[in-house]
Structure 1
Amino acid sequence: MTLILDGGMGRELHRLGAPFRQPEWSALALIEAPEFVSHAHERFAEAGAQVLTTNSYAVVPFHIGDEYFAESGQELADLAGDCARQVADRHGLKVAGSLPPAMGSYQPELFDADAAREILSILIKGLGPYVDIWLAETLSCLEEARIAGDLLAEDQRPLWLSFTLDDEGPAQLRSGESIVAAATLARELDVDALLFNCSAPEVMDLAVRQAREALGGAAVQIGVYANGFDQYEPELPANEGLSDMREDLGPQRYLAFARQWVASGASIIGGCCGVGPEHISALSAGLDLVPDGSSREAGYERVQA
């Protein structure tokens, strides 16, 4: 049985015509026009997502600047939580509180534990009243995950850890650390789920299989939500443009990948950057869902890619 997550918020906001630019990314809509955030959540809910993720990924100094984060970071996190909660409650869904990489995506070499602890503490305080699940996502190294685990050690809600993978090499984190090491840490922190996200669909299956073997009989679910980037462009630094999206990753092809991940041991499936409501609709219609996750394809007006 599969739990369906939502898709990529940033690209969906861009497609909807929300205020959108670098470096603020998806945080700009939250700041200037939060009704677009609610609209995006609504579209994913109508597509069949069973978990909505808060639009807090870019609510970090890396995107909105140190001064603005210090002044308004908790307030924006609170607003992100409220937007997701209101839509989730209308549809009977869960809310996952996004705890992003504090120093920016794909850059484990920039990680600063003290700074990350302070940033994530502010996000946790703002999101706390609204979430059912904590989702520390797009983690590039184990140290990022450990900080999230430490901060939430006394919180009784489920903690999910989601790592981004090297798109080019063997199955490993972007730091070069192994899937086995990530699974070992997941067991140590007693998390509810170990996921892999914001990487190419092609690299996910091996990671799932390695994680399943490393976890053994541990009661840790495995999940995947891949991105739709054409390819990672290291020469295009974060906050300096938009990567092109693939043209060969329509809903049915993404569903085919998802079926393989499920066959290999994944039980939580969604999408990251560029994976929209039309993909989530295909997942909802094409996978065997957990209870209360019946297909909603018939009532969903497909979105043109």
Structure 2
Amino acid sequence: MLVSSATLRQRLLEGRKLLGDGAIGTELIALNVSPDEILLQNCVAPDRVRFLHQRYLHAGVDLITTNTFGLRQDGYWHKAVEAGVSHALQCAQLTERPVGVMLSLISSLVPLEIDFIGELIERHKSDIAIILLETNTDITQAVRAVSKLRSLWNGLIAVTSHFDVRLRMLDGTSVEEAVTILNANDVDILGANCGDALDLFPEIASLMRQRTRKWLLFQPGTGIKRQDRTPESVAPQDFVRVGIQLYENGADIVGGCCGIGPRHIELLYQTYFYSKGGR
């Protein structure tokens, strides 16, 4: 059952803690998909993409993310993005409980593809719950993308950024500065994803919660091995420990990024939500 943006907003206003999904890209890479062909899977291997969405839904998530985060590739980017949205919406629609879909986009592409994105939003505006601008490394690009999207979409917009071990974005913006800037713009949900280390996220959550009353979304990654650019391995129990800390430090939505898969998400659901008597 699809949850609209308005319904999801109401759930957040009621103080509901929500569970997001984990990575799509690194899960596909684990199935021997080339990193350059992750988006292409929406077109050439749709069953594989839908299977991953279904695994996260089985794990108990409230939100699934479209497999649409990727740079433009000549000839198929538009088709792959449209297919990625359709796969996620179809999987959520077939689920008995309420599930929202997050449309994942790269901020730098939004101004370049605003006509296509506008058409996409118009076709699916009653079905998409959140437009997610994720893995931001340049705060100016994020703000510009939000401005472009807000002219087309009055639903929930989330901006999550990549912070390094210094708790700064690639452009040098600190966590505190990012919150101040985004607070002044028409953003509904702030947060962080990816990152250089899992254990950095509870501190980021605490810093953000001290400075904003907006909803917070965190999707920690496991960190990257510098030699081959693959994610570090992390035990599901370690992810759960961090996930619970994030909720305790003010997060409204917790999911995972690179290296975090269905097993991690399912254990967080079982540990955190079961301990509170379910939803």
For normalisation by structure 1, the TM-score amounts to: 0.77
Of 24, 36, 51, the match for 1:23: 36
Alignment correspondent of 1:53: 65
CA offsets 1:156-213 (integer angstroms, 9 cap, x no match): 11000000111x32x2222210112211222222322101000121211221111112
Give CA-to-partner distance per residue, 1:202-240, whole Å, 9 cap, x none: 21122111111221xx3x111211112344x2xx6xxxx
The question of whether the paired residues in 1 share the 8 Å contact of 2:68 and 2:84 is answered with: yes
Alpha-carbon spacing, 1:288–1:47, altered in 2? closer, same or farther (3 Å) = closer
In 2: Cα distance, 1:38 partner to 1:7 partner: 14
Task: Map 1:85-96 onto structure 2 (within 5 A).
Answer: 85-91=89-95, 92-96=98-102
Residues 208 and 266, structure 1, Cα contact 8 Å, conserved in 2: yes
How far 1:282 moved relative to its partner? 1.1
Shift of 1:279: 0.6
* 1:146 pairs with 2:158: no
For residue 121 of structure 1, report the CA deviation from its aligned partner. 4.6
Match of 1:212 in 2: 209
Of 150, 158, 161, 2:159 maps to 161
| 3-state SS in 2 of match to 1:27 | coil
- Output the CA distance in 2 between the equivalents of 1:158 and 1:263: 23
Alignment of 1:281-296 (within 5 A): 281-288=266-273, 294=278
Q: Secondary structure at the match of 1:122?
A: helix
Counterpart for residue 194 of structure 1:
190
Deviation at 1:95, TM superposition (A): 0.2
**Deviation of the 1:23 alpha carbon:** 2.4
Structure 1: 5+ residue runs without aligned partners? 103-114, 237-241, 296-305
Q: Which residue of 1 aligns with 2:132?
A: 135
Distance 1:124 1:34, change over 3 A: farther
1:126 equivalenced with 2:123 (yes/no): no
> For residues 218-229 of structure 1, what are the structure 2 equivalents within 5 Å?
218=213, 220-229=214-223
Structure 1 runs (4+) deviating above 6 angstroms are none
What fraction of aligned residue pairs are identical, expressed as a percent?
A: 24
Counterparts of 1:246 and 1:117, CA distance in 2: 33
Give the stretch that moved more between structures: 139-148 or 270-279. 139-148
Change over 3 Å in CA distance of 1:229–1:46 after alignment to 2: same
Matched residue of 1:31: which SS?
helix
Whole-angstrom CA distance in 2 between matches of 1:77 and 1:258 = 29
> Structure 1 pair 87/116, CA: closer, same or farther in 2 (3 Å)?
closer
2:26 matched residue in structure 1: 11
Do 1:78 and 1:127's aligned partners in 2 also have CA atoms closer than 8 Å? no
SS of 1:134's partner is: strand
| TM-score normalised over the length of structure 2 | 0.84
Distance 1:213 1:257, change over 3 A: same
Alignment partner of 1:44 out of 53, 56, 59: 56
Matched, 1:2 2:17: yes
In structure 1, what is the equivalent of residue 253 of structure 2? 268
Query: Residue in 1 aligned with 2:87?
Result: 83
SS across alignment from 1:244: coil
RMSD: 2.3
